[in-house]
């Protein structure tokens, strides 16, 4: 059974602003859609409180709710900014 995707407002705004190059935007969208079918892919890395997957030069941080079958996408950033922002938001 597929998981539902739930995007944090910050991630939604990140997509909506359109500042991502089209190639990277497509990669990130495809990766997030894949998470709905395989929420723990082989390349995911467990971090405190969630998981991280790579999509080209970008990183996606998410949490899973296995009971309700929801993937909550919390953060998406370029690799150079990802950990700084993750620490700032989720300490």
Q: CATH code at 63?
A: 3.30.2310.20
Distance CA 57, CA 28 (A): 10
How many separate domains does the chain show?
1
Alpha helices in the chain (DSSP H): 9-16, 22-37, 79-90
Distance CA 88, CA 78 (A): 15
Per-residue pLDDT, 32: 92
Q: Closest Cα to residue 75, out of 3, 4, 10? A: 10
Q: What percent of the chain has pLDDT over 90?
A: 70
Residue 12: pLDDT over 80: yes
Per-residue pLDDT, 90: 81
pLDDT in tens, 33-58: 999 999 999 999 999 889 999 998 99
Q: Closest Cα to residue 34, out of 60, 66, 67? A: 60
Q: For residue 70, what are the domain limits?
A: 4-90
pLDDT in tens, 71-84: 999 999 999 999 99
């Amino acid at each position: 059974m597929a998981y539902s995707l739930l995007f944090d407002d910050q991630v939604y705004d990140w997509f909506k602003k359109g500042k991502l190059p089209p190639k990277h935007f497509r990669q990130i969208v495809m990766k997030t859609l894949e998470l709905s079918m395989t929420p723990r892919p082989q390349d995911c890395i467990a971090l405190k409180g969630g998981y991280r997957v790579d999509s080209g030069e970008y990183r996606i941080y998410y949490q899973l709710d296995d009971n309700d079958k929801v993937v909550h996408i919390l953060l998406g950033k370029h690799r150079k900014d990802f950990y700084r922002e993750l620490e700032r938001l989720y300490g």
